[in-house]
Structure 1
Amino acid sequence: MRIAFFGSSLVSSYWNGAATYYRGMLKQIAALGHQITFYEPDAFDRQANRDIADPDYARVVVYPATPDGWQHSLAEAAGNADLLIKASGVGVFDAELETALPQAPSASMRVYWDVDAPATLDAVEHDPQHHLRDAIPRYDLVLTYGGGDPVVNAYRAIGARDCVPLYNALDPDSHFAAPSDPRFACDLGLLANRLPDREARIERFFLEVAARLPDKRFVLGGSGWDSKPMPANVRAVGHVGTGDHNAFFGSGRATLNVNRDSMARYGFSPPTRVFEAVGAGACLITDAWQGIELFLEPGREVLVAADADDVVRHLQELSPERAADIAQQARRRILAHHTYAHRAQQFDRLFRPAATASSEAAE
């Protein structure tokens, strides 16, 4: 099956939290025999901050971030693909692409793939004129990277023909144990860009904890934190490229995951960082959200914190031996059930019948 995929960026993780998901998912989909062309705009300095070369599992087309750029790319894709996919959060001309793609002259199936469904659905809920209210019913299917029944039901309520979660996962070829790096050595690390709907939670779960534990070391990775006041025992290291993620996650006693407000509210939305950290052998502490037990067993494979008090307690009680045991149990669980190879098989089951029918019709 020939797949045309419009996303934020496959080759750069710069201000692009979906990069790991795209790479893991599309690599495994291609391994099943599908041909992928990934269309991404030349925007937000991502091409100047590439962290991988064009991969062998997808043809990458970088188009100008202009009306002519996306229109020309969509016309090319519609004329050549069996499956047209528009991912959320491309960053430029999203509304135009999301409206135009399901109406493009083509025999292709059309899929909307939401890599941040809680945020998207919040935006739609608060805007009666939101363009997706008209666009979503025109797509053959909505895929999401998480959300469970709350997201599925919300998408069906705005007219989706169907909605299927394809959760984040682990790519064991990319995320694995690496030697500890002094740049990231700490008692608790957090890798997260500074975003408005997550900053207050990071203040509570990370910065407040650091202020209450002045004898412990904290490292904060991610873009946008330069102007943020922080306790003296927090070291902000800025953007951490994907090539350094394994070292980042493996250099601390524990790693913290803090979901954004909307993700925590909808639940069933483990971000890529959860799987990256576990794959790199980290002991994970996560804020509490519904559905965590579908991926990791609290207390045995992950430590769950309802508030800053819980994070403080976990750090005070966490011995190196227990941290190592939690990390080992978590990695075993994720490798058995939650790799991108598992997710790609799910994708293949969804689309293989349609691809086979299309091929037979062409003959």
Structure 2
Amino acid sequence: MRLVVLGLSLSSSWGNGHATTYRALLRALAARGHAVLFLERDVPWYAAHRDLPDPGFCELALYADLADLDRFRARIAEADAVIVGSYVPDGVAVGERARAWTEHVCAFYDIDTPVTLAKLAAGDHAYIAPALIPAYDLYLSFTGGPTLDLIEARYGSPAARPLYCSVDPDAYPALARETRWDLSYLGTYSPDRQPTLDRLLIEPARRAPHLRFAVAGPQYPREIDWPDNVARIEHVPPAAHPDFYAASRYTLNVTRADMIRAGYSPSVRLFEAAACGTPILTDRWEGLETVLAPGTEILPVDAADDVLAVLRGQPEAERRRVAAAARARVLAGHTAAHRAAELEMHLHDAHGRRRNIAAGSRLAEAAAALTGR
């Protein structure tokens, strides 16, 4: 297929998790023979931090604004499918143009589904509006479970389907590295995640000064009081993620509040850490067991005592067993190749629905002509 994807960012992983998700998925699509054009809004905060300006697996083009997007109208019209992502600047206007310019399948890929639904409920239509959802042939959702039924029933999507994030196992191998930290966390600052990070990493660090911790990611406020045994790293580019995880005895997964409420919303970092062979401590959310088995493939924790019990008491053999089980589960079902195959299936199904609708319309017109209506 010829695909056009209009997404938040492919060129820069700075301050967003979209880039690594798109990179893994599009590389896997290219390996399956598809040609992809990725259109990215040229904004200064990503321009200053581009770590993949020239991807070899797809064509990347930047556009300055909505008017400049017109340069790609013919490419969008020619594509077999067009996908518009969440958090795209002027996303509603971009989606309306994409829908108007193509007669083929037009899909919305929501990498932030619980956040999107919370914004819609609050009347915030920054990148998707209720009236636009039924116009998309397909709503691809970062979140599975009951949320998919809600998107169809409340907002009128003709087809809401799960498309979780994934990992490229070639880019995220298990490495042998000297341990630098007992527990690490990799993620951009988020106000709703910070209380959990305080409870599950900062508080254990204060109570166990002999252990070593790390928090990597941008945008953390200066006023946070980091204990002396917590290393602060401003940014770890994707190419350095495997080294970061390999240097961590355990790593922590922290979920945004909206995603905990929705459930069934695994983070891309969860799959990446598992692929790298680092055991994961996580907060709890509904649907976790459909991704990794609690207790055997991932370790849920609720408080600092739980974290310290693992860090101080879990035998090394058990730590390695949990890591190996998670890695095997992810490689068996959560790689980018799996997601690319799922996306193909969803797009082909959407093409079939469009053909059936078009055929039904032609039959109705023919019947009306025969009866003189």
Residue of structure 2 aligned with 1:138, choices 132, 135, 139: 135
Residue 68 of structure 1 pairs with residue 67 of structure 2: yes
Q: Deviation string for 1:138-183 (max 9, x for gaps)? A: 11110012x222320221111111100011222111101224267x
What amino acid maps onto 1:165 in structure 2? Answer: P
Q: Provide the residue aligned with 1:223 in structure 2.
A: 218
Q: Deviation string for 1:290-342 (max 9, x for gaps)? A: 11111211111111112333222222222333222211111111111221111
User: How far apart, in 2, do the equivalents of 1:106 and 1:86 lie?
Assistant: 12
Q: Provide the residue aligned with 1:315 in structure 2.
A: 311
Q: Provide the residue aligned with 1:100 in structure 2.
A: 97
Q: Deviation string for 1:216-271 (max 9, x for gaps)? A: 11100000125122112111011110111001111011000001111111111110
Q: Provide the residue aligned with 2:302 in structure 1.
A: 306
Q: Provide the residue aligned with 2:208 in structure 1.
A: 213
Mean CA deviation greater in 308-317 or 210-219: 308-317
Mean CA deviation greater in 335-344 or 317-326: 317-326
TM-score, structure 1 as length reference:
0.91
Aligned-pair CA distance for 1:358 = 9.8
What amino acid maps onto 1:122 in structure 2? Answer: A
Aligned-pair CA distance for 1:356 = 8.9
Q: Provide the residue aligned with 1:16 in structure 2.
A: 16
Residue of structure 1 aligned with 2:192, choices 197, 200, 213: 197
Q: Confirm or deny: 8 A CA contact 2:16 2:188 kept in the other structure.
A: no
Mean CA deviation greater in 7-16 or 199-208: 199-208
What amino acid maps onto 1:67 in structure 2? Answer: L
Q: Deviation string for 1:32-73 (max 9, x for gaps)? A: 222110001111432332223422321101111x23233444
Q: Cα distance 1:129–1:215, how it changes in 2: closer, same or farther (>3 A)?
A: closer
Q: Cα distance 1:54–1:356, how it changes in 2: closer, same or farther (>3 A)?
A: farther
Q: Confirm or deny: 8 A CA contact 1:99 1:132 kept in the other structure.
A: no
User: How far apart, in 2, do the equivalents of 1:355 and 1:36 lie?
Assistant: 18
Q: Cα distance 1:96–1:272, how it changes in 2: closer, same or farther (>3 A)?
A: same
User: How far apart, in 1, do the equivalents of 2:109 and 2:148 lie?
Assistant: 13
Q: Cα distance 1:44–1:285, how it changes in 2: closer, same or farther (>3 A)?
A: farther
What is the SS of the residue equivalent to 2:241? Answer: helix
User: How far apart, in 2, do the equivalents of 1:327 and 1:167 lie?
Assistant: 21
Q: Confirm or deny: 8 A CA contact 1:201 1:261 kept in the other structure.
A: no
Mean CA deviation greater in 237-246 or 25-34: 25-34
What amino acid maps onto 1:37 in structure 2? Answer: L
Residue 173 of structure 1 pairs with residue 175 of structure 2: no
Q: Confirm or deny: 8 A CA contact 2:92 2:132 kept in the other structure.
A: no
User: How far apart, in 1, do the equivalents of 2:147 and 2:280 lie?
Assistant: 25
User: How far apart, in 1, do the equivalents of 2:159 and 2:69 lie?
Assistant: 27
User: How far apart, in 1, do the equivalents of 2:313 and 2:331 lie?
Assistant: 27
CA-based RMSD of the aligned residues comes to 2.3
TM-score, structure 2 as length reference:
0.88
Residue 255 of structure 1 pairs with residue 251 of structure 2: yes
What amino acid maps onto 1:162 in structure 2? Answer: A
Q: Confirm or deny: 8 A CA contact 1:140 1:161 kept in the other structure.
A: yes
Q: Confirm or deny: 8 A CA contact 1:14 1:49 kept in the other structure.
A: yes
Residue of structure 1 aligned with 2:231, choices 232, 235, 243: 235
Q: Confirm or deny: 8 A CA contact 2:169 2:335 kept in the other structure.
A: yes
Q: Provide the residue aligned with 2:323 in structure 1.
A: 327
Mean CA deviation greater in 48-57 or 339-348: 48-57
Q: Confirm or deny: 8 A CA contact 2:275 2:327 kept in the other structure.
A: yes
User: How far apart, in 1, do the equivalents of 2:59 and 2:245 lie?
Assistant: 30
List gaps (5 residues or longer) in structure 1.
none
User: How far apart, in 1, do the equivalents of 2:125 and 2:292 lie?
Assistant: 39
User: How far apart, in 2, do the equivalents of 1:223 and 1:108 lie?
Assistant: 39
Identity in percent: 34
Residue of structure 2 aligned with 1:336, choices 332, 335, 340: 332
User: How far apart, in 2, do the equivalents of 1:67 and 1:60 lie?
Assistant: 17
Residue 186 of structure 1 pairs with residue 181 of structure 2: yes
Aligned-pair CA distance for 1:109 = 1.1
Aligned-pair CA distance for 1:351 = 2.1
User: How far apart, in 2, do the equivalents of 1:236 and 1:44 lie?
Assistant: 25
Residue 159 of structure 1 pairs with residue 161 of structure 2: no
Q: Confirm or deny: 8 A CA contact 1:253 1:320 kept in the other structure.
A: no
Aligned-pair CA distance for 1:16 = 1.9
User: How far apart, in 1, do the equivalents of 2:349 and 2:229 lie?
Assistant: 55
User: How far apart, in 1, do the equivalents of 2:82 and 2:148 lie?
Assistant: 21
